[in-house]
Structure 1
């Protein structure tokens, strides 16, 4: 079974205004075409270690390839500057783990190197 893919964003110094509102109104239509769904958006974080200013956004996709295709799609690229022009952000495309994953799999890979 193919592992899911995730887009994880850490947003800081958000200056909400008309551009960010337009971005938020349009983003869903861009990622739904690639099977994306919200996992985290606009929720208050309970920070239990360290300093974590800002907000977290996570969008799940059926595969990492679908997440990559969405991010580079003309539809998303057309609205991207509405976000990037009004906040500091870090965005990563991250593969999920396959069904049945155990931490022992990663330990074995690390010991083999």
Structure 2
């Protein structure tokens, strides 16, 4: 059975982000209503098997900051740096892409998006 890469990413960010931000961040797989002041949304975007025991899962990460483009950008950079430091297995880890602006099409809320490849093993 494969590990849940979405949950692994949420758990990692929940442990690694405190202390890097001055604000409390909501970590979620959905967009809550009402929208919090600072949101990081994590979603599975597919995967591919690398070897008989390794899988590369693609995780889309959205960084939202209603009404403040520069804070949304800064949040995305902090999340990017945090994901880039992630070490999952010896010689394997997460590889984030650079964040890019993609305002929410419904609300216009400032949002930055990136994809992280999470290489992980089967669970025993």
The structure richer in helix per residue is 1
Greater RCO (CA < 8 Å, at least 6 residues apart): 1
TM bucket (normalised to shorter chain) is 0.3 to 0.5
Q: Which has the larger radius of gyration?
A: 1
Between structures 1 and 2, the one with greater strand share: 2
